[in-house]
Amino acid sequence: MKIKARPNGPLLVETGGKCVHSYEGGEDTQEQEFIALCRCGASAQKPFCDGSHKGVDFQAPAGELTIG
């Protein structure tokens, strides 16, 4: 699994093709290779990035984490 930190933006998580999001009161399944997780705290769709980082002057370096 790889997690990429976008410069001044979200964490891109490699899903392997499918992501199941379980939360209080429900569950959603997304079929996509990557999901973007908010790391700025401004998203209205947490835990997912909704692009709000662009309007809050969020600054963080790029990086990559490989697991396994």
Residues 9-48, one symbol each (x = binds ligand FES by CB under 6 A, - = not), give xx---------------------------xxx-xx-----
Going by C-alpha positions, the residue among 13, 68, 9 that lies closest to residue 42 is: 9
Range list of H helices, the chain: none
In the numeric block, which tokens belong to residue 28? 């959603």
Which lies closer to ligand FES via its Cβ, residue 19 or residue 42?
42
Give the span between the Cα atoms of 22 and 48, in whole angstroms: 13
Report how many residues bind ligand FES under the rule CB under 6 A: 12
We find the least distance from the C-beta atom of residue 55 to ligand FES, in angstroms, to be 9
Q: Give the interface with ligand FES as residue ranges (CB under 6 A).
A: 9-10, 38-40, 42-43, 49-53
